[in-house]
Structure 1
Amino acid sequence: MNISTISRQGLLVFLTAALLTGCGQNAGDKKATSTKDADSSDKPKESEHTSVAVLPVVPVKEMRLDRVFQLPGELLAYQNVPIHAKVEGFISYIGVDRGSVLKKGDRMIVISCPELDQKVKEAEAKVSAAQASYEQTVSNEASEESKKVEVNAKLESDQLTLSRLIEAAKTPGAIAENEVDIEKKTVEADLAKLQSIASEVKAAKALVLSEANNVRAAKNVVKSLQSMTAYLDIRAPFDGVITERNVHLGSIVAVDAQRRDEPLVRIQQKDILRLVVAVPEDCVAGLKDGQVLPFSVPAFLGKVFHGTVARLGYALDVKTRTMPVELSVINKDGALEPGMFATVDWTVSRPYKTLFVPSPAVTSDLKGTFVIAVADGVCRRVDVTRGQSMGDQVEIVGNIKSGDLVALKATDELKTGNKVETRMATDKDMQKAMKKSSAGGE
């Protein structure tokens, strides 16, 4: 091999190496450029002729909040009454058991109490005695009144005689001198007797009144005892079903004023149910009576029931910051049971309009929550208060109005005074921003 051949081979190797190096550098430059473009795809684009960024913006909209929350609730019987004994005794009849369906007035339990029956008889005997005593005093009063009439008549007769004697005495010798004096004494005696009889009549009247009160009191005792006997016959207070029974035929029952013992039976009204929901403070806006809301229960998967808002708490529990609300649920077929757990689709409708922007347009930093408003190509940070969400929109309150433009994607890199070019955000921009926002990206 000569020197010329070696030189040509060396030159060929050098050219090949140089070519490979150039290709590698070109590929690296393209890769770096691609990476740089990808990194800057989410940032405002630079204009081809200026250094001002192009920023997607959206208008602030004024809308009425209308959102559905899922709130837990509990179904309760419309009426739930534990039946306790009012009178001590023993069960002589029981005609119901758990699951018995009753109409109002149906007999459930009869309690026997011989002692109470005896008390009624004794009270009735006292009424008879008081009545007899009353009648005797009435008779005595009548007798005294009769005596008073007789004495009064005698007094009038004696007074007439006295007046005639006085007139006759004016003629000398017509009558004896002592006849007038005798008649005066007679009239005085009549007056004294009349006063005595009047006192006796007054006493007789007072005694009659007293005996009348005794009769009335005795009758009230009988009436009270008879009312107690009515408690021995226990009947259904309303249409319902027996859900609990704790006594049997012959069971001894006692009276517990504090109702700490188990009830004899428990009756519940099921044809109407109460759906009780603890509504959070931020969900009470726009709530009103008569509003119909759907709900579901685990026992009937996929089936939707409805309840009507009937009773509002009108006050929040200071511990839980919730307001109890009751819905009336018609349950004629008896499918729903008291005690069931329910999930209510609670609709919140604010009674006035507020401002909304897409959720990526609102962000927070150490200074607070804000949006980036853009006017005449200049950015301005606007502090806002975040409200409730409605779909991909979020409610805001701040120094901003409907129709103002804000950056679709708020970031602390956009400072007050930054100049930008704007364009209305497209659906693709919205989808991309929402995707990054839900993923926690910037």
Structure 2
Amino acid sequence: MHTDETSAVSSLPNTTPKPHRRRVFVAFTGIAALSGIGFLTSSQSSAETASGLSQEPQTEAVAEPPKYDVLRPTPGGLTRRLEMTGTIEPFESTELFARVPGYLKSSHVEIGDVVRQGQILAELDAPELLKDVERCRALLQQAESRVIQSEARLATSRAERLAKSAQTEQVAAQVAAATAQTSLQSKMLTRIRNLADQNAVEQKLVDEHVHRWESAKADEQEAEAAAAVAEAELVALDTRIQQAEADLKAAEADVRVARAELARAEVLSSFTAIKAPFDGVVTQRNFDRGAFVRPATAGAKQSLFRIARTDHMRVVVRIPNPDVPFVQSGQSVQVQVDGLLGQTLEAKICRVAQHQDRRTRTMRAEIDLPNTEGNLVAGMYGSVTLTIPALPDAVTIPESSIVARTHPNQATVVIIKDEQQELRPVTIGRTADGQVEVLSNLKLEDVLLSNPPS
């Protein structure tokens, strides 16, 4: 019995190890706990052993414990390839509506024609717009004429004011002279009266000086009145100048309004020519020559043309909700378009919407592809393959080492610790090719059963 037990224990270290995997004997109590299987042993009674009978010794039958594989987790999570359906769309696409009403006079392009930016695609017949242009031009000329008239009136008023200012100065000089003459006559009259009081001169001479003083006083008053009139006329001229300046500003404003109206009329008139907004291809033409075209401002629902830019194309894919956190701009993808006979195109994700559609629970992403040869056509579809990198903090174990899954992302594994078995719950992530990504509660140094009994 002692010899058999020694042989069983010694078989553990002699097991040949493999990378992250080896075979060990599981202890009796551990196996009984997992599988519920007990081992029976037989032995001879102590009485028969002590009697020392001469019969041959019986060989004990000892059941060999089952062997299980053990392993250690592999560092890093799982690298996964995400395959999605992609749809080819033009890099730019727009519908061209009429801006003004009119009859389609001519159409210069057809479906499939390559056009350049600014190229005239069609022309509308709208003669009333041409008449508006002529009317606005006449109004502009009329406003400009009023500006010239206002400038002339302003110049005349300023000249009159200058002349009146000179006249006012002259009248002021006359007032000063009359005031001086009045003062002189007043002094002479005082002197003569003093002499008359002394009977040195006749009263007749006094009366003459009184008359002279009164005449000088009248002249002074007349000069002052003329000065007041001149000042009033000067003020009136200043007011006239201000009015002329205001009229000039109003006339200049009328010119600006007339020019704006003319520019608007010319812009509306230019809308009779339908031009290409960018280089592209005509993908739709909805009107024939002679048809009446309503403008978009009047509620038109049908466009004249649809233009698509095709030198660059977009591949639009929808990222499923679980993979949204792992998709970023700049990631490399492989695009296979069904119409290109399996040709694989290397590209990068250029734009990510960073917003999920609430109806489909997917996020839009776009991939730009050059289309210089014109092989890609809007509406084509194919597959887009994106490699999602592994999580560096995760570990990987075989799917067979999972005892049970208690939740879509929860499972249980069997850990060998101190030669004892231990059930440990872990959080799992992706599963691919028989491998499971463990996100938490499992370390690289842990040893676990590779294929534990269920």
Give the TM bin, normalised by the shorter chain: 0.7 to 0.9
The answer on whether the counterparts of 1:65 and 1:353 sit within 8 Å (CA) in structure 2 is no
The answer on whether the counterparts of 1:97 and 1:242 sit within 8 Å (CA) in structure 2 is yes
Deviation at 1:286, TM superposition (A): 4.7
2:398 is the alignment partner of 1:358: yes
Between the aligned partners of 1:259 and 1:409, the Cα distance in structure 2 is 71
What secondary structure does 1:169 align onto? helix
Q: 1:263 to 1:136 in 2, by over 3 A?
A: same
Q: Give the match for residue 302 of structure 1.
A: 342
Q: Give the root-mean-square deviation of aligned CA atoms.
A: 2.6
For residue 394 of structure 1, the aligned residue among 406, 415, 436 is 436
2:160 is the alignment partner of 1:147: yes
Give the alignment of 1:95-174 within 5 angstroms: 95-171=108-184, 172-173=187-188
Q: 1:239 to 1:388 in 2, by over 3 A?
A: same
Between the aligned partners of 1:104 and 1:252, the Cα distance in structure 2 is 25
The answer on whether the counterparts of 1:354 and 1:396 sit within 8 Å (CA) in structure 2 is yes
Q: Give the match for residue 75 of structure 1.
A: 88
Deviation at 1:260, TM superposition (A): 5.0
Q: Give the match for residue 76 of structure 2.
A: 63
Between the aligned partners of 1:177 and 1:264, the Cα distance in structure 2 is 93
Between the aligned partners of 2:156 and 2:379, the Cα distance in structure 1 is 74
Deviation at 1:92, TM superposition (A): 1.6
Between the aligned partners of 1:232 and 1:157, the Cα distance in structure 2 is 68
Deviation at 1:46, TM superposition (A): 9.7
Amino acid at match of 1:325: A
Deviation at 1:170, TM superposition (A): 3.2
Provide, for residues 51-97 of structure 1, a one-character-per-residue CA deviation record: whole Å limited to 9, x for no partner: 75432122112215421111112111000011111111112221111
Between the aligned partners of 1:365 and 1:118, the Cα distance in structure 2 is 82
Give the alignment of 1:375-386 within 5 angstroms: 375-386=417-428
Deviation at 1:269, TM superposition (A): 0.8
The answer on whether the counterparts of 1:162 and 1:184 sit within 8 Å (CA) in structure 2 is yes
The answer on whether the counterparts of 2:68 and 2:452 sit within 8 Å (CA) in structure 1 is no
Q: 1:158 to 1:352 in 2, by over 3 A?
A: farther
Between the aligned partners of 1:211 and 1:143, the Cα distance in structure 2 is 17
Unaligned runs of 5+ in 1: 1-42, 414-442
Q: 1:365 to 1:235 in 2, by over 3 A?
A: closer
Between the aligned partners of 2:166 and 2:65, the Cα distance in structure 1 is 132
Q: Give the match for residue 327 of structure 1.
A: 367
Q: 1:211 to 1:336 in 2, by over 3 A?
A: same
For residue 262 of structure 1, the aligned residue among 302, 307, 315 is 302
Q: 1:165 to 1:49 in 2, by over 3 A?
A: farther
Between the aligned partners of 1:89 and 1:260, the Cα distance in structure 2 is 13
For residue 336 of structure 1, the aligned residue among 367, 376, 380 is 376
Between the aligned partners of 2:403 and 2:111, the Cα distance in structure 1 is 60
Q: 1:231 to 1:207 in 2, by over 3 A?
A: same
- More deviation, 360-369/75-84: 360-369
Q: 1:403 to 1:281 in 2, by over 3 A?
A: farther
Amino acid at match of 2:217: E
Q: 1:44 to 1:359 in 2, by over 3 A?
A: farther
Provide, for residues 292-330 of structure 1, a one-character-per-residue CA deviation record: whole Å limited to 9, x for no partner: 311112223322123321112123334433221111011
Between the aligned partners of 1:315 and 1:52, the Cα distance in structure 2 is 58
Deviation at 1:117, TM superposition (A): 0.6
- More deviation, 122-131/51-60: 51-60
Provide, for residues 213-262 of structure 1, a one-character-per-residue CA deviation record: whole Å limited to 9, x for no partner: 11111111110111112211222222211111111122211113376522
- Amino-acid identity (%): 22
Higher Rg of the two aligned structures: 2
What secondary structure does 2:290 align onto? coil
2:421 is the alignment partner of 1:408: no
Between the aligned partners of 2:390 and 2:362, the Cα distance in structure 1 is 17
Q: Give the match for residue 253 of structure 2.
A: 213
For residue 198 of structure 1, the aligned residue among 235, 238, 263 is 238
Amino acid at match of 1:269: R
Q: 1:239 to 1:88 in 2, by over 3 A?
A: same
Provide, for residues 381-423 of structure 1, a one-character-per-residue CA deviation record: whole Å limited to 9, x for no partner: 2222221124332111232212312221255x4xxxxxxxxxx
What secondary structure does 2:79 align onto? strand
- More deviation, 74-83/165-174: 165-174
Q: 1:351 to 1:318 in 2, by over 3 A?
A: farther
The answer on whether the counterparts of 1:44 and 1:54 sit within 8 Å (CA) in structure 2 is no
The answer on whether the counterparts of 2:405 and 2:411 sit within 8 Å (CA) in structure 1 is yes
Q: 1:351 to 1:95 in 2, by over 3 A?
A: farther
Deviation at 1:369, TM superposition (A): 2.0
Unaligned runs of 5+ in 2: 1-34, 40-60, 189-211
Between the aligned partners of 1:205 and 1:214, the Cα distance in structure 2 is 14
The answer on whether the counterparts of 1:45 and 1:53 sit within 8 Å (CA) in structure 2 is no
The answer on whether the counterparts of 1:84 and 1:259 sit within 8 Å (CA) in structure 2 is no
Q: 1:296 to 1:259 in 2, by over 3 A?
A: farther
Provide, for residues 138-169 of structure 1, a one-character-per-residue CA deviation record: whole Å limited to 9, x for no partner: 21122111221111111122122222333443
Q: Give the match for residue 185 of structure 1.
A: 225
The answer on whether the counterparts of 2:397 and 2:437 sit within 8 Å (CA) in structure 1 is yes
Q: Give the match for residue 251 of structure 1.
A: 291
Between the aligned partners of 1:199 and 1:104, the Cα distance in structure 2 is 58
Amino acid at match of 2:125: S
Between the aligned partners of 2:255 and 2:243, the Cα distance in structure 1 is 18
Between the aligned partners of 2:63 and 2:294, the Cα distance in structure 1 is 96
For residue 276 of structure 1, the aligned residue among 307, 316, 334 is 316
Between the aligned partners of 2:347 and 2:130, the Cα distance in structure 1 is 50
Between the aligned partners of 1:366 and 1:180, the Cα distance in structure 2 is 124
What secondary structure does 1:214 align onto? helix
What secondary structure does 1:226 align onto? helix
Q: 1:140 to 1:133 in 2, by over 3 A?
A: same
